[in-house]
Structures are given as structure tokens and as C-alpha cells.
Amino acid sequence: MTLALVGGTHRTVPLDLRERLAFSAEQVTEALNRFRDRFPGREGVLLSTCNRVEFYAAGAEAAPPAEQIVSFLAECRGIDAGLLTPVLAREQDEAVVRHLFGVASGLDSMVLGEPQILAQVKQAWALAQESRTSGPLTGGMFQAALRTAKRVATETALGRERTSIPSVAVADFASGVFERFDDKRILLVGAGKMAAETLRYLREAGGRDVTIVNRTASRAVELAARLAARPGDFTALEAELAAADLVVSTTGSTEPIVSSDLFARVEARRDGRPLVVLDLAVPRDFDPRIGDRPGVWLYCVDDLAAACEANRKSRQRELPAALAIVDEETRRFMGDLHHRATTPVIEQLRAGWSETGDAELERLFRRLPGLGDAERAEIRQAFERYAAKLLHPPLASLRDESRAGPPHGLLDALRRLFDLKD
């Protein structure tokens, strides 16, 4: 039996090619159905995210050759295989297991320890199960990957520190002032990617009442519709600021859009209510002197970046412990996999000894016709215990050898010693 991996990530595949290679959930299902027809009896799982496309294959005898998997992926996406060959990595057996366990645990992600990848790994396996391309080999490997990811999450602090500006802005800074967000009025100034990502974290924290304003009104309307928010009027910025409890500003303005004088007018209308401002723009959107006003918590990108860097260092300190878990679980899985390969020999050994024992018992019982059922049962149990004790040393040796690698030499020796046939 063999395991194989062919795939590429943001580190190895250029973005324009990665975009062409990416699979939607529907396209994954179509590809797996095609794989099942192309490689009958083989197992396959396709993992496709914004940062990686990886195909995991397995076979009781052998997985499909890597070159065929590359050609298969190219065919599915209508790409010249020559473009993929130099950028897609190829792994086999233990290296495949170690890689998948690291991926599921967030150790191979762009942001170390990010948790979203685990859900994507689960979905990839679920689609393979629905398409009937997952079997005992890939199924066991993906189950073990989920177990490994759970251990990394619970036994290390790898995923507990936030490393993106928006996540730190909400969880470390805004939450330091407000205990809850479901009763707060949130104002987003700007309608770019940073604003959208910050709003996602605010939604997760409970934020519901969200207004978006932007100099280009159509962009505010578009983002508000996409994120279930309310578009506001940029020309009424003072009124929006007066009503807000939390402001996230991400414009591309070259000058502050909220001067100290403007905020003084806003402040008079706020009745002393606290205000948190997350100024994520570079250059800054808010005059830094506003942060000196009573009841105002003003944070800029530099404040948040320092927290991000501290969190990154904290995650890096957790990396050795996470890698140790991956190593341990990889050895455990490979040991189980190698031991599984010994099953036919074990069954032959047991069947041979059982057949010989039954024949000898029948001969003994014919010579001792006066034995009752209880005596016969006691003698049979003694034979079975004796056979089990004799078989224990070779079976224990097989188990121990499996932990270190495929026990080919010992299997061959047992076949010759006991005249076992393939």
C-alpha cells in the first residue's frame, strides 16, 4: 500500500496560476467522480483553498504515479500540464502523512496556527466520502489528521494569539474597552478589504448595528449589501461620528479626514459617551491629538502592529511543541499502517495453528471416548492457550518492527519458517 501527494501552495505556485488551478466545491466533486472512473480501486481526496491545491491519493497496491496525478489536475482545470509540473510538489508515504497533519494543524498556513484550514480539511474529506473516493487508507489518515489538529489546539497556545491587524483590533483593543458589541453602534469609514475583514471579526464578536460610509457612495452601498450593513452618507460624517460607539477607519486619504477641530464639534454632541476609534489607515485618518480627549480610545496601525508582532513571537515559541505532536502522531499512524500490512500473515499463522490444533484434538478425543463435555472443553482451552503463547513472540516482534517501519524482512522470514503462501 502507498500514499501519494501532489500539490502546491502560495509558496510554490504563482497567484495567477493558483487562481486557474483552484477548485470550487462543485468542481471538486466533478474531479473526484472523474478520478474514480480514471483510477478504479484507488482512493483520492482533493483539498482546494485560496492558498493551496493538494491531491491526496492512496492504493492497496500502489497509488497512481505522481505524473498521472499532475496530468489529471491539469486536465480537470484546462491547464497545460507543463505549467504545473515544475511548481507542484510530490510526496510519498510518511512524508504525505506528516504534511497533512501539519496542514490540518495550521502549521503550513500563511498565518501560523490559523484555524480555518481545519474546517477546509474536514470539507475535503467529506466531499471524498460523498464521491466514494475515500477508503480505509485516506479515511484513516484524515481521521488521524483531525485528531492531531485537536491535540495541537488543546495542548499548545499556537492558535490562541491573533496575528492580523483586524483580529487584533477587535479582540485585543476594542474588546478591552467594550464587554459586548451587540448594543453598540459601529461606523466603518472606508469600503476596502481591511474594512470588510474587520467587520467580519466584529460580527463574530456580536456586532449587529453597522453603518458604512465612503467617499464613493456606490462602494459603500455595495459592501453594505454584501455584509448585511447599512450604507450611510459620507457628507454627514459628523452626525455619524456623533452617533457611533466604535469607529473603524480604513480610507486611502492622504490627509486626516477627522481633524481635531471637526472632532471638537462632534464631541459636543456625544454627551460624554465613550468612543473607540480603530484607525487602520496609512496615512492616519484621525488627528492623533483626538486620542488625548476624555473618553476617547484611539488606536493606530502602529499600536496594532506591535501587538501582532508580539503575538507572532508567541506563536513561534509554541511551534516546537506543535511539531512534536505532529511527529508523534505521524509515527503512531505509520506504525498502525505498517502493522495493518502484517494482517494476512497473522491470519495465516493463526489459521494454520488452529487447523493443526483441531486435528490433534479430534485424534485425542477419539482415543479417549470416555471424556465428558467439560473435560473436552478444558482440554480445548488448554490447547488454545498453548497456541496463543507460542504465537505471541512472533506477533509481538511484528508489532514492534511495524513501529520502526515496514517489517518486510520479518514477514519474509515468517513466511519461509512456517511455509506460508502469498
Amino acid 135: pLDDT: 93
Q: Pick from 115, 130, 155: which residue ends a domain?
A: 155
- Please check whether residue 233 lies inside any domain of the structure: yes
Cα–Cα distances (Å) from 396 to 304, 331, 338, 358, 389, in that order, read 57, 18, 14, 24, 11
Give the three-class secondary structure for 159: coil
Q: Judge whether residue 40 has pLDDT over 60.
A: yes
- The enclosing domain of 259 has a CATH number of 3.40.50.720
- Write down the mean pLDDT value for the chain: 88
- Please check whether residue 356 lies inside any domain of the structure: yes
- The enclosing domain of 133 has a CATH number of 3.30.460.30
Verify that 68 and 12 share a domain, yes or no.
yes
Instruction: Average the pLDDT over 54-61 and give the result.
Output: 93
Indicate which residues carry an active-site annotation.
50
Distance CA 339, CA 416 (A): 19
Amino acid 189: pLDDT: 96
Verify that 224 and 129 share a domain, yes or no.
no
Instruction: Average the pLDDT over 244-249 and give the result.
Output: 96
Q: Of 282, 325, 67, 286, which is closest to residue 194 (Cα–Cα)?
A: 282
Verify that 180 and 146 share a domain, yes or no.
no
Asked if 356 and 391 count as a contact pair (C-beta separation under 8 A), the reply is no
Specify the number of domains making up the chain. 3
Q: Which domain holds residue 169?
A: 165-307
Distance CA 271, CA 354 (A): 90
Verify that 150 and 276 share a domain, yes or no.
no
Type of residue numbered 357: G
Instruction: Average the pLDDT over 255-265 and give the result.
Output: 94
Amino acid 101: pLDDT: 97
Instruction: Average the pLDDT over 217-238 and give the result.
Output: 94
Q: Pick from 120, 155, 190: which residue ends a domain?
A: 155
Give the three-class secondary structure for 85: coil
Distance CA 248, CA 213 (A): 11
